[in-house]
Amino acid sequence: MELDALLLSRLQFAFTIAFHILFPAFTIGLAAFLAVLEGLWLWTKRDAFKVLYLFWVKIFALSFGMGVVSGVVLSYQFGTNWSEFIRLTGGVIGPLLAYEVLTAFFLEASFLGVMLFGWKKVGPRLHFLATVLVAVGTTISAFWILSANSWMQTPQGFETLADGTLRATDFMAVIFNPSLPTRLAHMLLAAFLTTGLVVGAVSAFHVLKDRAKGAVTGWTESRIALVMAVGLVAVLAPLQLVAGHLSGEVTHKYQPSKTAAIEGYWETRSDQPLHLFGIPDRDAQKNHFEVSIPGLGNAVQNLPRDEVIQGLDAWPREDQPPPFIPFFGFRIMVGLGLLMIVLGTAGAFLIWRRKLFETPWFLRFCVAMGPSGFIAVLAGWMVTEVGRQPWVVYGVLKTRDAVSPVTAGEVATSLIAYILVYSVVFTAGALFILRLMAEGPVAALAEPAPRGDRAPGSPLAKAPEDTTPGDA
């Protein structure tokens, strides 16, 4: 395999976006979780919800900051490594990225400061509003980014000019392209599940620590958070299975070559089998060590057994997506999704039996499943992006025609620089977040108690501020 500028540019973008996607996948759900916690604190006046908020908001701030920084790098790469892509598609995709900044990013930036530092400067209800608006902003950001990416998967609402550039003819069709609804639902559910699994893992870890120290009774902060997390996974994991299936049906309709790569179909035929395992070989045009269930492939896609499903032989070899990553990435994602359903179902049963905190094997299972949301998100995005190849805009613009006129050496130099910087900065950030998680929510009890009608102490303050009424 030749390491030319195209391949190195793809590797560089894949490396940076793999880091970036981890943080939005977490912060989208965590922002909503914080809004729920603060709302429950205002409603019930239970200090446990305040403690949980003060604990998780610190982690949110760090994750949000690293997500913003890593996202800026991606926008620079559009100009450095993918200038032809921007030149040819900027008239269509540029406004979508601009709308994300003008709506979501400005909304988040405007109220994030109030959320993090305004506890003693504004009233509790206004602060709650700021938290809600930050959560809304993260969701709006996901909408615009997924709209742009979904258009690249299922392009419509544009025309190609004589010079090869694309011009939007119907922006509503561009925004609400065929794959957006299912992919947006799929991603938002993935974000909420990722948050639920992390919160569940951290909470289960501290419940196990409390058990090791001696009998702990009552509804501690970690126990409350664990019940909330398990309940969230129990509800959303089955819904994610449905959303993923609906997204797959859209993919089959608009991107049949991606479906063929995901399923490991090489032959165009009816009554396709369901391949449980295999090693796709693009050179040999077949799967090695194949384990299949005959006649089940059509049924899984809600198609009659006599309907013909295209295999990769329907496209020239140069137009076939590389099947290895989509094939295994899809199975990793589905396998983890099934484990999430098991966790949620078992957890709901234990909550019903009032045995959740007295079942060590389940608590350890929760801890082990903590990173699974991130892994599933990465696997899903690999399926989406690699399965689209060799197109950057499916059926319209090939990836090789979108790269900048740069040399392999230039791209290799910047790639090495990214690897070194990311390894230091983001490793340090991740370790600090893990350290905060290990401390647990009780650490937030050091915050001063609220006075009068004021909200509790500033979550990110290094030292208590004066909480005398009227000091705003």
Per-residue confidence in pLDDT tens, the chain, 472 aa: 567 889 899 999 988 888 888 898 999 999 999 999 999 999 998 889 999 999 999 999 999 988 888 888 888 888 888 999 999 999 999 999 899 888 888 888 889 988 988 888 888 899 999 999 999 999 999 999 999 999 999 999 999 999 889 999 999 999 999 999 999 999 999 999 999 999 999 999 999 988 777 656 556 888 999 999 999 999 999 999 999 999 999 999 999 999 999 999 999 998 889 999 999 999 889 999 989 998 888 888 888 888 888 999 999 999 999 999 999 999 999 999 999 999 999 999 999 999 999 899 999 999 999 999 999 999 999 999 999 999 999 999 999 999 999 888 888 998 898 889 888 888 888 899 999 998 888 754 444 444 444 444 445 544 344 433 333 3
pTM: 0.90
Q: How far apart are the C-alpha atoms of 259 and 43, rounded to whole Å?
A: 48
Structure token digits, residue 423: 């390894």
Q: Tell me the CA distances in angstroms from 49 to 155, 235, 295, 339, one per residue in order.
A: 45, 21, 52, 29
Q: How far apart are the C-alpha atoms of 390 and 393, rounded to whole Å?
A: 9
The verdict on residue 417 lying in a domain is yes
Q: Tell me the CA distances in angstroms from 106 to 62, 72, 99, 100, 111, one per residue in order.
A: 18, 14, 10, 9, 9
The verdict on residue 187 lying in a domain is no
The verdict on residue 325 lying in a domain is yes
% helix / strand / coil in the chain, to the nearest 5?
A: 70, 5, 25
Q: How far apart are the C-alpha atoms of 55 and 460, rounded to whole Å?
A: 10
The verdict on residue 472 lying in a domain is no
444 and 388 in a single domain? The answer is: no
92 and 234 in a single domain? The answer is: no
24 and 133 in a single domain? The answer is: yes
318 and 216 in a single domain? The answer is: yes
Give the structural domain span for 280.
195-396
Longest dimension (CA), the chain: 76
CB count in 10 Å sphere of residue 137: 22
What is residue 216's predicted lDDT score, i.e. its pLDDT? 61
383 and 416 in a single domain? The answer is: no
140 and 279 in a single domain? The answer is: no
The verdict on residue 1 lying in a domain is no
126 and 18 in a single domain? The answer is: yes
The verdict on residue 189 lying in a domain is no
Structural domains in the chain (count): 2
Q: Are 124 and 95 in contact (CB under 8 A)?
A: no
What is residue 212's predicted lDDT score, i.e. its pLDDT? 76
173 and 81 in a single domain? The answer is: yes
CB count in 10 Å sphere of residue 136: 17
Structure token digits, residue 419: 């690897």
201 and 348 in a single domain? The answer is: yes
Which one of 341, 376, 396 terminates a domain?
396
CB count in 10 Å sphere of residue 71: 20
289 and 250 in a single domain? The answer is: yes
114 and 253 in a single domain? The answer is: no
155 and 211 in a single domain? The answer is: no
Which one of 396, 424, 441 terminates a domain?
396
Q: How far apart are the C-alpha atoms of 389 and 394, rounded to whole Å?
A: 8
What is residue 461's predicted lDDT score, i.e. its pLDDT? 45
- State residue 159 phi and psi, 5-degree precision: -135, 155
The verdict on residue 348 lying in a domain is yes
Beta-sheet pairing, 269-270 with 274-281: unpaired
The verdict on residue 354 lying in a domain is yes
Q: Are 150 and 177 in contact (CB under 8 A)?
A: yes
Which one of 336, 362, 396 terminates a domain?
396
Q: How far apart are the C-alpha atoms of 206 and 223, rounded to whole Å?
A: 9
Q: Where are the beta strands (DSSP E) in 120-251?
A: 158-160, 166-168
Q: How far apart are the C-alpha atoms of 231 and 203, rounded to whole Å?
A: 13
Q: Are 100 and 145 in contact (CB under 8 A)?
A: yes
